[in-house]
Chains A and B, each alone.
Chain A
Amino acid sequence: MGIRFILMVNKQGQTRLAQYYEYLTLEERRALEGEIVRKCLARNEQQCSFVEHRNYKIVYRRYASLFFLVGVDNEENELAILEFIHLVVETMDRHFGNVVSTFPSCELDIMFHLEKAHFMLEEMVMNGCIVETSKSNILTPIQLLDKAS
C-alpha cells in the first residue's frame, strides 16, 4: 500500500540500505534490486525521476554518490514522494551531518550506523505509509536512545 520499498544504492549498484514493506524472498529481492538499479543508473540528469517497472513505479533521486529509490503503487503522488525523499535526506543530514554535500562520507555514515538510519526511517514510514514529517519529532527518540546507551 503506498510505498512498497525504500532502497539506498551507490553508483556501483551496491545496496546500502533496504527496507521492504511487502514480503519478498531473498532471491526476489536480489533480482528486483539488480533490475531497477540498472534502469535508474542508466538514466541521465535531464530525464525525469520516475521509472515504470512491472505494475508499479520507482521514484528516485541522486544525492552525491547515493541513489535513493522508492517503489510506489501507481496511484501514489510522485511529486510528493520526491519531497519525501528530500525529507529523508535532510533528516539524516541533521543527525549525521553533511549527508548531502560531502562525498563519500554520507554513504559511509549510513553504512556504519545502519541501525540508526533504519530507526529514522521507521519513525517516518510505517507499513508503507508516511507517518511523520517533522524532523525534530523523528529524531527525538533516536537522540534519547543515544543518551541511554
Chain B
Amino acid sequence: MGSLYLALLRLGCSRFVWAIQGDRLSELFTTLGDMIRAIRACKTAAEERAVVRKECAAIRASVGENDQDYRHRNLAKLMFIHMLGYPTHFGQMECLKLIASPGFPEKRMGYLGLMLLLDERQEVLIDLNHTNQYIVGLALCALGNICSAEMARDLAPEVEQLLQFRDPNVRKKAALCSIRIVKKVPDLAEIFLNPAAALLKEKHHGVLLTGVQLCTDLCKVSAEALEYFRKKCTEGLVKLLKDVVNSPYAPEYDVSGITDPFLHIRLLRLLHVLGQGDADASDCMNDILAQVATKTESNKNAGNAILYECVATIMSIEDNGGLRVLAINILGRFLSNRDNNIRYVALNMLIKAITVDTQAVQRHRATILECVKDMDASIRKRALELVYLLVNESNVKPLTKELIDYLQVSEQEFKGDLTAKICSIVEKFSPEKIWYIDQMLKVLSEAGNYVKDEVWHALIVLISNASNLHGYAVRLLYKAVQTAGEQETLVRVAVWCIGEYGEMLVNNVGMLDVEEPMTVSS
C-alpha cells in the first residue's frame, strides 16, 4: 500500500491519492473492535453481508501484499467472520505464515487460526522441538486437534518423547496428543503403553487427568493394552483414587468442597473399563467403590456427578451383591430429587441397570410412572423407555391402563412415541385376545392417527382369526366410531369389520357374557 501511494504521488495525482488512500486507510486500519461494532450495528442480514464483503476484500488485499504488520489483526477478523458462517479459505496461508513467525504472540494467533479455520486435510509443519515450552505446548495442541493419520505416524516418536518432558503442562498436552495418534493409527498403541503407565504415578492433576484418559483410550483400541493395564495398574489406580478421595483441601482444584471431581470421575471411568468382565480386577476395587458411594456428599452437583459415575462403574463390573444394592439405592434417591437434571440421569442409569437387576428396578415402578407424566420432555422420553423395559406378563395390565390414561392428556408431540410403545407392549404381552382388542380399540379411539399401518393390520388379522370374538369386535368398533369418528384409522378398521361381520352386528349374533344387547338398524 505504501508503494502505491509513492507511485501515485510521483505522478502528481495527490488529490486522487488522498481519496483512495483515505478509503483504503479506513478499511485496512479498522481494528477488530471497529469491525465488530460495524457488524453489530447492522440491522439486516443484507447489511451484514455487505460489511463482511468489504472487510474480506480489505483482508484479501492486505494478504496479497504480504503485509506483515496486519497479519495478526487480519486473522482475528477472519476468525470472527468464520464464526458468523462465511467462507474464509483465503486466510489459511496467513495462519501458516503466522505460525512460522518467530514471535510468541504471532505464533499463538497462528495456531489458534489453524485450529479454527483448518482441518486435518491440511499438511502443516509443527514445531515440536522448539526451545520455548509454551510453543511446544501450542504445537501439541494443534496436532492433538487436527492431525491426520500420516502426520500421526510421522510425529509419534517425538510425541512419545515429550511424555517425559520437564514441564508438566507439556506432558499433559502430549498425553492428549497421543490419544489422537492412537485413534488415528491404532497399531501405534504399544509404544505408548509404558509411558502412559508412568504418567499414573505423577502428582500434577492436569497430567493425571490426561494420563488416565490416555490409558482409558488405549484400552479401548487395543486388547493387549487392556490386559496390560489390568494386570499392572489396577491396584495403583485404586490407591490413587483413595488418595484423591481422602486428600485435604486443595483450593486450586476444589469444587463445592470436593477436591478435583473431574479426576474422581476419570478414575472411576478407567476402573469401569478395567473391571468389566474381570473378577479379580473387580474384587480389587470393591472397597474404594463402596467408600465413594457412601461418603460422597450429594447435596451439590459435583458430588452427584461423582455418585453417578460410581453407580455406572458398579453396574458394569463383576457382581458383588452388596455394591449393587448400594447403587440402586442411590438411584432411588436420585429419582425423588427435585432437581430435574438428577432425575434425568437416574432414569438413564436405571435403563442400564435393568439388564443387571430387574427386580430392584421394579420396586421403583410407581416413581418411574410418575416421571412419564413429567412436564419436562427429556424426562418423559427416558421414563417411557424405562417403563417399556419393565413390562412383563404380571404387570402388563395395570401398566397399560396407566399409559392409556395418560395418552388422553399427553401433548401432541409425545403422542406418537407413547402410542408406538403402548401398541408394542400390548402386542408382546397380551394375555388374552379379548384384552388385546379392548386395549387397541382404546388406543385407536384416542390416538388412531398415530398408529402405524402394520399395527392395525395386525389387529385385523387377529380379529379375523378369533372367530368367537367377531361379534364382540364389530359391536365394540361400531360403538367406538360413534364417539371417536375423527380418528381415521379407527374408522378404517371399523369399516372393514362391519363389512365382514355386518349381520352379526345387526342381529346381535355371538354375544359374550360381558356384552349388553344393542339395536342396530341396517
Contacts and interface: CB of A to CB of B under 8 A. Distances in A.
B341 A50 contact: yes
B120 A83 contact: no
A17 B179 CA distance: 26
Range class of the B interface residue count: 35 or more
Interface in A119-149: 119, 122, 126-127, 129-137, 141, 144-145, 148-149
Interface residues of A, number: 48
B210 A17 contact: no
B36 interface: yes
Interface stretch (A21-29, A65-73, A95-103): A21-29
Given A47-B378, A80-B305, A137-B169, A119 B112 contact: yes
A57 B383 CA distance: 17
B144 A127 contact: yes
Contacts of B86: 26
A112 B33 contact: yes
Contacts of A49: 340-341
A61 B273 CA distance: 30
Contacts of B471: none
Contact of A80 (B80, B116, B176, B262): B262
Nearest to B261: A83
Contacts of A112: 32-33, 36
Nearest to B260: A133
Interface in A19-68: 19, 21, 23, 26, 29-30, 46-52
Contacts of B261: 80, 83
Nearest to A17: B83
Interface-centre pick from A1, A77, A141 (highest chain B CB count, 10 A): A77
Contacts of B260: 133
A126 B85 contact: no
B255 A126 contact: no
Contacts of A18: 83
Contacts of A149: 105
B209 A132 contact: yes
Interface string B93-112: 00000000000110011001
Contact of A144 (B134, B302, B342, B381): B134
Contacts of A135: 252
Interface-centre pick from A1, A122, A126, A131 (highest chain B CB count, 10 A): A126
Nearest to B262: A133
Give me the 6 closest cross-chain CB pairs, A-B, nearest first. Answer: A79-B305, A48-B340, A47-B376, A149-B105, A126-B176, A134-B252
